[in-house]
Structure formats: C-alpha cells, structure tokens
Amino acid sequence: MRIAMVSEHASPLAALGGPDAGGQNVYVARLSEELSARGHDVTVYTRRDARRLPERVRMPGGTTVVHVPAGPPAALPKDELFPHMPAFGAHLARAWGDERPDTVHAHFWMSGMAARIGAHAHGVPVVQTFHALGTVKRRHQGRLDTSPYERIGVERHLGRSCGRVLATCTDEVYELADMGVPPQQVSVVPCGVDIEHFTPEGPTGTAPARAARHRLLATGRLVPRKGFDQAIRALAHLPDTELLVAGGPEAPLLDTDPEAERLRHVAARAGVRDRVRLLGAVDPAAMPALVRSADVVLCVPAYEPFGIVPLEAMACGVPVLATDVGGHRDTVADRGTGRLVPPRDPGAIAAAARDLLASEQLRRRMGRAGRERVLARFTWQRVADGAEQVYRRVTAGHAVPSEVA
C-alpha cells in the first residue's frame, strides 16, 4: 500500500524537546517505520523550515521524508502556519497527480487542511489524527490559547468529512462527539512505545548520581501546561526526595529559557531549589537509563491529549503518578500500574507520591504490572495493526468498526 503521512510541523527527523517537537514527532516516525518494515511505501510530507534541507530524505527504515515549500524556509511556531496551508495543499495535489497514494494519514488539524486540498482532486481517502483538539486547548488555556480562530471550526469539518478519524484515546471520542462528530466515524488506536529501547533491565550509569534517598522524574517539553511547577510544589511535602526535570534546550540555552527560569523561581519560593535539577535536553539513547534511575515518574499536566511518557516509564518497570486527564485514563491503571490524581493539585501529587515512596514492594509490583500492560496494549506493532486495518477498510470503502485496538 502506498501511504502518505502529512505532518506539517512535526517532522520525524526533528530533534525532540523544543516547544513544537514532542509526541507527535515520535508517533509519525515510529508508525511510519513500522509500516515501512511491513512492506508499505510510506512518504511523510512535512514543511521545509530551513533553507539547506534537501527536498527528500530517506530514513534508515525505508520511509521517505519530503520537505514541502510552504511559507518561509525558517522555523515558525506552529500556530503561525495556518496561512501557509493552501500552498502546502497545492504542493501535495501536484505531487499526488504524479504518484497517487492509496490513502493519506493527516496528523494535526492543519495537516488535515492541506491533506484535504491535496487529496480532493485525486479521490484519495484521508484518515485524520488530531493529536490535540482546539476545544480542549481553549478550555484549559483560555485567552492564553494562541491557536488561530478558525481551528475549532476546521476540526469539526474535518472530523465530519474525512474518511475516518483515528483517535489516540477514548477521551477524544467523547470530545469529538460534543463537536458533532459521531462516534461511529472514529476508531481508537493508541500511541505506542519502543519496548526494546525502554526496558526494565539495563544500566543506569549514565543517569545523574542521586542526591537524596528518593528520586522523582518528570520529563517532556518545557512548557507550562506540562505541570512541572505542580511537581515542584508537591516536592515541598516530600522530605529526602529529589526531582529531576528532563526536557527543554541544552545548556547554555537552558540558563536563559523563560520556562526554566520560571520553574527555578517556583522552586525557590517552595524552599526546594536545592532538590530540583533541570537537566535540559537528554539524548534519547540515555532516556531509558534515566527513567530506570527513578523511583516514580511524574506526568502531571493540566491536560494531555495522549502522553507517551507514561508508556516509557511503564515499559521500564517504573510506576507512574499521572493526572487523571486525557490519554492517561487509558494508559495508567490506577492502583495497578501507578496512581491517577486530579490536575493542578500539588497536595494530591504529594500524598500519592508519599504512598508510593513508602513501599518498595508496591513500586516493584506496579512496575511489573506496567511492563505487562505495555506489552499487551501499547507496542508500535499493535499501533500499526490498528492503523493498517483502518487504512485497508477506508481504501476499500467498507464501514470501519468504532474501535480497532
């Protein structure tokens, strides 16, 4: 099958950790890699954001990445890309006139816009994954939401008119239904994790040496919604415990990063500045060792469309303390593989962490259960199985069941 992936701001080649480089990049890269390994012809179309980028790049697994000229060849915040989507779509229409894909999988709402423009003239079915919905972002960020005004309306139209919506969690199905997208138009296929990279066994020598009896780890893009400030405030109620925060730019840029500076102020006001370490960007090769070095991994954002970090922790056999939001409700089994707590509640984070840190036996049991849960539900092979089934049935014009994974 010839599969076109459209991911306008999240290139599978991008370095992770920047403001607009995270879980979507990983999802596109790993799903494409797995589909290519199965013999599919996969091409990812992403926006050219630097002049020196080649037009086409062949990834080691066989996927081709095409850099589409749409807007200036420079890095732009994703919320400023909306005016350039017609040009992106026109480029796709020309490319697909020469080599028509069997199906298109659009990632994020603006990719959906471009994909619809490109696919319309050629009658190619479009599968849409939003990765995040504008209604959720606006609800949580209010006036701080920088998304284009048109976002929610476009998402509603895409959800109703595409060949299929591929949602990453059950919570998204309900959100889409409130937008008028019928559940029978949606299939749930979760994100995955590399179970051979993230493992319970392995060295921890590359991780920083402990400075306290217990270690909590929080990792992700260094942006306010990830809730690192809530973790820092919880630390004030957890003696003899350190918190490592991995993510953001590398030093020396980390020293002047606005969010890093804000978190340092939060730590100082909470009286835990000496027990919080901001690590900045961590080499992906070193992440499993870092995760294994922790007693508990914290994932405490105010909202989370899916969240791959809990899967990485569970794959490493480390219990997860996560907020009861979005995809966390599907991935973390409360009191089985970790704990779910209300968002924006440092007291609840501290209480749950205290219980977990008090019992090594409990942590070991949850860690084993987490690894088993990942192997059963969240491998990239399972993700590709679900996506492949949607592609085949959409291209065949058959009805797709509301849940395939």
Q: What is the pLDDT of residues 59-81, one digit of tens each?
A: 999 999 999 999 999 999 999 99
Q: Compute the average pLDDT of residues 171-193.
A: 95
Same domain assignment for residues 390 and 302? no
Same domain assignment for residues 81 and 186? yes
The phi, psi pair for 227, rounded to 5°, reads 80, 20
Task: Please report whether residue 100 resides in a domain.
Answer: yes
Please count the residues of the chain: 405
Task: Please report whether residue 403 resides in a domain.
Answer: no
Task: Please report whether residue 201 resides in a domain.
Answer: no
Q: Is the pLDDT of residue 369 over 90?
A: yes
Same domain assignment for residues 184 and 39? yes
Q: Is the pLDDT of residue 364 over 80?
A: yes
**pLDDT band of 362, cuts 50, 70, 90:** very high
Using alpha carbons only, give the angle 46, 47, 51 rounded to the nearest 5 degrees. 125
The burial of 399, by beta-carbon neighbours within 10 Å (0-12 exposed, 13-18 middle, 19 or more buried), is given as exposed
**pLDDT band of 133, cuts 50, 70, 90:** very high
pLDDT for 307 equals 83
pLDDT for 405 equals 43
pLDDT for 72 equals 97
Task: Please report whether residue 343 resides in a domain.
Answer: yes
pLDDT for 19 equals 53
Task: Please report whether residue 95 resides in a domain.
Answer: yes
Percentage of residues in the chain having pLDDT higher than 70: 96
Same domain assignment for residues 269 and 358? yes
Same domain assignment for residues 248 and 289? yes
Residue among 32, 109, 30 nearest 378 (CA)? 30
Same domain assignment for residues 260 and 304? yes
Same domain assignment for residues 168 and 226? no
Q: Is the pLDDT of residue 400 over 60?
A: no
pLDDT for 393 equals 87
Task: Please report whether residue 17 resides in a domain.
Answer: yes
- The CB density around residue 75, as the number of other CB atoms within 10 Å, is 13
User: Which one is predicted more confidently, 23 or 290?
Assistant: 290
Same domain assignment for residues 357 and 391? no
Question: Please, are residues 7 and 46 in contact by the beta-carbon 8 Å criterion?
Answer: yes
Domain, as residue range, for 114 = 2-192+379-396
Percentage of residues in the chain having pLDDT higher than 90: 87
Say whether 182 sits in a helix, a strand or coil.
coil
- Residue 164 region by backbone torsions, left for phi larger than 0, else alpha for psi between -120 and 50, else beta: beta
Which residue type sits at 16? L
pLDDT for 206 equals 86
Same domain assignment for residues 185 and 253? no
Task: Please report whether residue 199 resides in a domain.
Answer: no
**pLDDT band of 20, cuts 50, 70, 90:** very low
The mean predicted confidence, pLDDT, of the chain is: 93
Same domain assignment for residues 166 and 296? no
pLDDT, tens digit (0-9, with 9 covering 90-100), for 274-297: 999 999 999 989 999 999 999 999
Using alpha carbons only, give the angle 31, 375, 10 rounded to the nearest 5 degrees. 25
pTM beyond 0.85, yes or no: yes
Q: Give me the number of domains the chain comprises.
A: 2
Q: Is the pLDDT of residue 209 over 80?
A: yes
Question: Please, are residues 370 and 335 in contact by the beta-carbon 8 Å criterion?
Answer: no
The domain that contains 100 carries what CATH number?
3.40.50.2000
What are all long-range contacts of 54-60, with beta carbons under 8 Å and residues at least 24 apart?
Answer: 57/13, 59/12, 59/13, 59/29, 59/32, 59/33
Same domain assignment for residues 234 and 295? yes
Dig out the tokens for 279 from the structure.
């690590």
pLDDT, tens digit (0-9, with 9 covering 90-100), for 78-111: 999 999 999 999 999 999 999 999 999 999 999 9
Q: Compute the average pLDDT of residues 187-202.
A: 95
Same domain assignment for residues 346 and 383? no
Question: Please, are residues 219 and 296 in contact by the beta-carbon 8 Å criterion?
Answer: no
Task: Please report whether residue 246 resides in a domain.
Answer: yes
Strand partners, 187: 166
